[in-house]
């Protein structure tokens, strides 16, 4: 006998989770989809009429309280919020970690002045808080602007025009500047605003968004760099948790589970080519193209025909690390992505990323991330 699971969410969130949830349809879970943009009275009537065995819903302002008021008394998972509710398991991306990841990415492409563009939503505020904490640790100056006007737009729309305050903010920023837009539509909007003002991306302003949505990032000009959220892992956790609550009778409510980001997908809006120093651009290109090769910093210096001490001074001035430390960080970023997105073992990943030994990779991971490699696989 199949268990009917009602899904009440937007098409955007459903598109993210469907590939992972699809595998659970063969495990006696029959998903029925209802758009969260329907009137809540209609949704309530549908849920009481169909009597689902479980509910997966998206948190949206004003909608969540209505859903909870239906008192369905079935396993309920709510995605997209850090909040905790009685008898409900909530699941969300780790927004503080997303902000920190964006700040690190902007540091790694040589930015020393930062900005944040938010939209005054709970997730945006948390991402800015994470960004600030990482920037503060490095003593990097930053400023924040929050732009309203997106509330009535669907996720992929781009109709809103920048406010005078936002234009003044962009013009007044010290250049070059790295700006974190707290989700991808804001990042696309930011790139468009810069273009109208004659500000070059990524030459003067480097932009990183969040969510890594191909629909937005690949259709932006320039293509938008973005913090990746492992939606496959996210959806797998939601599907497995619902299965556990139904079949194993586990009580997983009254808590929130956070999914960490899986790194940054660098596209044209943020890359090492934005650094003015031609020697550093060549050095970064050499390193990023050979992460899976057993290269040495001596070989890099030979390629550039530059003394090691001179190159180290250049790296320390712009990136605040040595070339070797940068190579380790780039390899850790690659390994993190493989740990989350691939089925390779830790040993295989250590070989592919040229750590050559799982124990050595673990030491470097712990030093740079504060966590062991295994923590990125949970």
Instruction: With beta carbons less than 8 A apart as the criterion, state whether 185 and 226 touch.
Output: no
| Cα–Cα distance measured from residue 287 to residue 107, given in angstroms and rounded to the nearest whole number | 16
Q: Do 126 and 268 reside in the same domain of the chain?
A: yes
Q: Which domain holds residue 64?
A: 3-92+230-259
Q: Do 87 and 112 reside in the same domain of the chain?
A: no
Percent of the chain with pLDDT over 90: 48
Residue 369: cis peptide before it, omega within 30 degrees of 0: no
Q: Calculate mean pLDDT across residues 200-229.
A: 91
Structure confidence at residue 141 (pLDDT): 80
pLDDT band at 157 (very low <50, low <70, confident <90, very high): low
More confident site: 313 or 376: 313
Q: Which of 218, 239, 272 is at the close of a domain? A: 272
In this structure, what is the dihedral angle of CA atoms 94, 338, 301, 272, given to the nearest 10 degrees? -50
Q: Do 204 and 250 reside in the same domain of the chain?
A: no
Q: Does the pLDDT of residue 272 top 70, yes or no?
A: no
Q: Does the pLDDT of residue 215 top 60, yes or no?
A: yes
Q: Do 191 and 323 reside in the same domain of the chain?
A: no
Q: Does the pLDDT of residue 135 top 90, yes or no?
A: no
More confident site: 6 or 343: 6
Q: Do 242 and 350 reside in the same domain of the chain?
A: no
Q: What CATH number does residue 282 fall under?
A: 1.10.10.60
| Cα–Cα distance measured from residue 265 to residue 229, given in angstroms and rounded to the nearest whole number | 10
The per-residue pLDDT of the chain, averaged, comes to: 88
Q: How many domains, in total, are found in the chain?
A: 3
Q: Does the pLDDT of residue 351 top 80, yes or no?
A: yes
Q: Tell me which of 254-263, 338-347, 362-371 is least confident.
A: 338-347
Instruction: With beta carbons less than 8 A apart as the criterion, state whether 258 and 94 touch.
Output: yes
Q: Do 71 and 181 reside in the same domain of the chain?
A: no
pLDDT band at 154 (very low <50, low <70, confident <90, very high): low
Q: Calculate mean pLDDT across residues 199-216.
A: 91
Q: What CATH number does residue 47 fall under?
A: 3.40.50.2300
pLDDT band at 152 (very low <50, low <70, confident <90, very high): very low
Q: Do 134 and 268 reside in the same domain of the chain?
A: yes
E strands, the chain, where? 3-9, 29-35, 54-58, 76-79, 89-93, 114-118, 142-146, 177-181, 205-211, 225-228, 255-259, 264-265
Q: Do 268 and 138 reside in the same domain of the chain?
A: yes
Q: How many CA atoms lie within 13 A of 240 on its CB side?
A: 9
Instruction: With beta carbons less than 8 A apart as the criterion, state whether 266 and 295 touch.
Output: no
Q: Do 111 and 123 reside in the same domain of the chain?
A: yes
pLDDT tens per residue across span 304-337 = 999 999 999 998 888 778 999 989 988 988 888 8
Q: Tell me which of 61-65, 163-167, 247-251, 280-284 is least confident.
A: 247-251
Q: Calculate mean pLDDT across residues 86-97.
A: 94
Q: Do 208 and 240 reside in the same domain of the chain?
A: no
Q: Do 120 and 171 reside in the same domain of the chain?
A: yes
pLDDT band at 167 (very low <50, low <70, confident <90, very high): very high
Q: How far is CA 106 from CA 70, 161, 176, 285, in A?
A: 45, 26, 11, 16
Q: Calculate mean pLDDT across residues 251-262.
A: 87
Q: Do 113 and 176 reside in the same domain of the chain?
A: yes
């Amino acid at each position: 006998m199949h268990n009917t699971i009602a899904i009440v969410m937007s098409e955007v969130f459903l598109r993210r989770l469907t590939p992972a949830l699809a595998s659970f349809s063969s495990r006696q879970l029959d998903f029925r989809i209802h758009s969260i943009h329907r009137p809540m009275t209609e949704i309530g009537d549908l849920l009481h009429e169909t009597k689902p065995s479980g509910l997966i819903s998206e948190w949206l302002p004003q909608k969540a309280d209505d859903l909870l008021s239906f008192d369905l008394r079935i396993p309920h998972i709510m995605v997209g919020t850090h909040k905790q509710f009685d008898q409900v398991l909530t699941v969300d991306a780790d927004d503080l970690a997303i902000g920190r990841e964006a700040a690190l990415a902007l540091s790694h492409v040589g930015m020393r002045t930062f900005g944040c563009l938010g939209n005054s939503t709970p997730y945006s505020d948390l991402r800015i808080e994470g960004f600030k904490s990482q920037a503060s640790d490095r003593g990097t100056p930053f400023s924040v602007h929050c732009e309203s006007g997106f509330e009535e737009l669907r996720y992929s729309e781009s109709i809103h025009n920048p406010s005078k305050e936002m234009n003044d903010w962009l013009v007044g920023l010290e250049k070059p500047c790295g700006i974190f837009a707290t989700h991808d539509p804001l990042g696309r909007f930011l790139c468009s605003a810069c273009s109208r003002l004659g500000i070059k991306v990524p030459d003067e302003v480097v932009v990183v968004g969040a969510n890594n949505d191909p629909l937005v990032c690949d259709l932006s000009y320039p293509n938008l760099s973005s913090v990746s959220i492992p939606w496959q892992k996210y959806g797998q956790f939601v599907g497995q948790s619902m299965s556990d609550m139904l079949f194993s009778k586990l009580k997983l409510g009254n808590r929130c589970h956070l999914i960490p980001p899986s790194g940054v997908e660098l596209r044209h809006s943020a890359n090492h080519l934005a650094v003015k120093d031609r020697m550093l651009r060549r050095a970064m290109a050499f390193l990023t193209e050979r992460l899976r090769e057993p290269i040495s910093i001596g070989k890099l210096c030979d390629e550039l025909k530059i003394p090691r001490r001179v190159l180290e001074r250049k790296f320390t001035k712009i990136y605040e690390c040595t070339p070797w430390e940068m190579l380790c960080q780039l390899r850790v970023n690659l390994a993190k992505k493989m740990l989350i997105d691939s089925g390779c073992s830790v040993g295989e990943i250590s070989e592919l990323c040229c750590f050559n030994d799982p124990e050595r990779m673990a030491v470097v991971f712990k030093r740079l991330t504060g966590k062991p490699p295994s923590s990125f696989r949970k």
